[in-house]
Amino acid sequence: MQIFNPQTLSATRKLAELIGQYPEAKNFAAGLPDPNHLLADQERMLQKHPEAVKYVLENTSPAHFNYGKTAGPDFYRDFFSKTIATDWNLRATAENTLIGTAGNTGWIDILLRIMGENHTQPSAVFLSNPTYTGYLATLDKFPQITAFGVNCDKNGMIVEDLANQVEKAKRAGFVPRAILDTTRHHNPTGRNLTLERWQSLYEILKRDGIYFINDNAYSYLSFDNNDFHPLNHDPENLGFEMVTFSKILIPGLRCAVLHTQAEYLTPDNQRRFFTEKVIEYLAINNLNPSIPAFMCALSLMIDDTGTPQPTLKPLAVPKIESYKKRYQMISQALSDKLGSALKNGALQYDPVQGGFFIYLRYDNNKIFPNEVARQLLEKYNVAVVPTEDFWVKDERNKKLNPQAIRLSFSGIPIETIEPGVDALAKGLKVILGL
């Protein structure tokens, strides 16, 4: 039984349904933020709502409502651009920042749509291997765009492999257009791109005019204070940044920003074309940012006097602490219960500095992750996510053997961690013959 196949859009739902059939399962398969955070934030929103409403109304005109500007009302663009400028040291202004309420998923859809529909030659997009399944599911909708997978190590895409894939794409008649990747706390591997790696990759981007679309889904969820940000090292303005607040700042509310370091109205015709298209597609798809979503967002982001906070990072701190604690408990339990397999390399994972995920590799090519996950669920009552489908399918490279499962620490209650890792360890010992 294939338990996960994101080539159909309902894959995540199917996985959730399957896990739902095992209500007692210890759940390391969550992909979403902790539901308790969502409830706590809603309560806080309700408390603050009167100030937020007052503040918004004092600063709002009829043009700000849904029939208004599709790029997002100036007031909100100004507010959100100032905060991301402070938080990430970006040259963000209202002019080069758009806001939306369909999450980073909405931006990815629009950016790929533009690439697919506005070029006569077929386009190539480069994804890390493995990659976030949401990119693959969205790309499935655009037959004019072909995904090329780039192998990675713990620091990000391997430069030589990106160069190879770009050449391969060109030889096959594709125009290399963009890299789409998560540079911090990658899903599913948890890795971070390093500055050194970025600078080497950048030579290829520059040479071929390839855009870099950075899916900033988890940067606010960092356990360390490493603030390296690729767009601060982007002299050619090739980067686009999507910052979603849906994971940690306002869990579940898919308020998200699309930003580029370039001024929108620069003489760069290609970029201006691109930006104008984004706004046009927002309008066509009726994706005008909705005021209620922003009211909720604002209610979290103003202080008690109704003044917007200059930085959003402090809002994340209590949640970071709670995720970090769970991560530390899981890694401690893994070394207590699977210490010898971790020492002799039969199991491996790279420690993470944030995000939701641990990518647990195993050294046994006789059994695929789908089968490991199925047996863990059916026989040991533990839910994990298998990783076959996080890989870009490449017809010329059929021997993909990811040999890893993804463990999430975002949804598991503290008291379930110990018994959960215990059951996981028992299961893995038998299934993998550790």
Binding site for ligand PLP (CB under 6 A): 31, 103-105, 132, 134, 182, 187, 215, 217, 244, 246, 254, 256
* CB nearer to ligand PLP: pick between 102 and 346: 102
Least distance between ligand PLP and beta carbon 355 (Å) = 8
* CB nearer to ligand PLP: pick between 190 and 420: 190
Contact 239, 214 (CB under 8 A): yes
* CB nearer to ligand PLP: pick between 6 and 134: 134
Least distance between ligand PLP and beta carbon 152 (Å) = 14
* CB nearer to ligand PLP: pick between 258 and 432: 258
- Both tokens of residue 132? 């976030």
Question: What is the rounded distance in angstroms from the CA atom of residue 238 to the CA atom of residue 242?
Answer: 13
Residues near 347 by Cβ (< 8 Å), separated by ≥ 6? Answer: 338, 341, 360, 361, 362, 363, 428, 432, 434
Least distance between ligand PLP and beta carbon 104 (Å) = 4
* CB nearer to ligand PLP: pick between 34 and 215: 215
* CB nearer to ligand PLP: pick between 136 and 421: 136
Burial label, 345 (beta-carbon count in 10 A; 0-12, 13-18, 19+): exposed
* CB nearer to ligand PLP: pick between 219 and 403: 219
Least distance between ligand PLP and beta carbon 176 (Å) = 22
Least distance between ligand PLP and beta carbon 15 (Å) = 13
| DSSP-derived secondary structure letter, 96 | G
Nearest to 313 by CA among 89, 126, 31, 35: 89
Least distance between ligand PLP and beta carbon 346 (Å) = 28
Question: What is the rounded distance in angstroms from the CA atom of residue 250 to the CA atom of residue 60?
Answer: 22
Least distance between ligand PLP and beta carbon 38 (Å) = 12
Nearest to 102 by CA among 293, 268, 273, 267: 293
* CB nearer to ligand PLP: pick between 18 and 180: 180
Angle at 292 between CA 287 and CA 293, to 5 degrees: 65
The three-state secondary structure class of 60 is coil
Least distance between ligand PLP and beta carbon 240 (Å) = 14
Contact 130, 115 (CB under 8 A): no
What residue number has its CB nearest to ligand PLP? 103
Least distance between ligand PLP and beta carbon 110 (Å) = 12
- The DSSP element (H or E) to which 175 belongs, if any, is strand 175-181
Question: What is the rounded distance in angstroms from the CA atom of residue 75 to the CA atom of residue 131?
Answer: 35
Nearest to 392 by CA among 216, 183, 172, 161: 161
Residues near 2 by Cβ (< 8 Å), separated by ≥ 6? Answer: 370
Question: What is the rounded distance in angstroms from the CA atom of residue 285 to the CA atom of residue 278?
Answer: 10
Pairing of strands 123-129, 97-100: unpaired
Least distance between ligand PLP and beta carbon 423 (Å) = 25
* CB nearer to ligand PLP: pick between 149 and 306: 149
Strand partners, 181: 214
Strand partners, 213: 180, 240
* CB nearer to ligand PLP: pick between 176 and 251: 251
